[in-house]
Amino acid sequence: MPLVSVVMPVYNSAATLGAAVRSVLTQTHGDLELLVTDDQSTDGSMDLLREFAEQDKRVLPETAPEQGGAGRARNLAMERARGDYIAFLDSDDMWLPEKTEKQLAFAAEGTAPLTFTSYFKMDADYDGESTDWVPNGRVIRARAHVDYRAMLVQDHIGALTAMYDRKVLGTRLMPEMRKRQDYALWLSIMRDGADARGLAEPLAVYRAHQAGSLSSNKLSLVQYNWALYREHEHLSVPRATRALAGAVWQSVRNSRV
């Protein structure tokens, strides 16, 4: 069976970290490794990770040598990866139990080396486990197919659902920008000629509107999107403006779910 390397950045996430880690360890596809990089937390997150590592050898935590943000933490984890596939989960979100199994089967059906899924949204104060999750109707729907042109207009891929084929793409690291590193990675993969396929079934749960979340309040990311379009994708001002309008519209639309 393919080995899946799960990349998780952590910073002061002790309140939600346990549920996130357990959602990975209870996957029906058990051939995985959980590569966690703690970005110099001060709340005991690393102590909790060490406890998990003692109980399950698939949990492989490390402390970042210096605080460098989520992008650097993810890259440090990816540099240690041994898997055939690399997948992503933040420390305040969760995977549903069959996520890895179903997404691997979906990836095997097509030729796109990057896949993603629909996902649920939960309230910030949800304190249950992934195995207890009851579908709530709040779903961000995955598009069936996304190419580079479509991704420039909107980021259609929820990072907590993304998985790429390392045998095809190699190890693809994120640009070490302060925010929007995940979006930059998807764009770079597609710019090189690969498309992405979306699985309609919701297989992950995103924690919405939590202060300090790695992906909260996306409307505040306008300046980072603009820098991405202009400095990394080298778009003209008119094209960058159209792309930014799409990104803002997507944030407003998703916030209503």
Give CA–CA dist 223/80, Å, rounded.
Answer: 31
- In this prediction the pTM is 0.90
Band the pLDDT of 217: cuts 50, 70, 90.
low
Provide the pairing of β-strand 139-140 with 85-88: unpaired
pLDDT category at 212 given cuts 50, 70, 90 is very low
* Dihedral sign for Cα atoms in the order 185, 90, 38, 227: positive
Burial of 27 (0-12, 13-18, 19+ CB in 10 A): buried
pLDDT tens for 193-203 read 999 999 999 99
- Higher-confidence position of 241 and 204: 204
Tens digits of residue pLDDT in 140-149: 999 999 999 8
> Residue 79 class from Cβ within 10 Å (0-12 exposed, 13-18 middle, 19+ buried)?
exposed
Reported as a single tens digit per residue, the pLDDT across 99-156 is 999 999 999 998 999 999 999 999 999 999 999 999 998 999 999 999 998 998 888 9
The CATH-assigned architecture of domain 4-211 is Alpha-Beta Complex (3.90)
Q: What is the CA radius of gyration of the chain?
A: 17
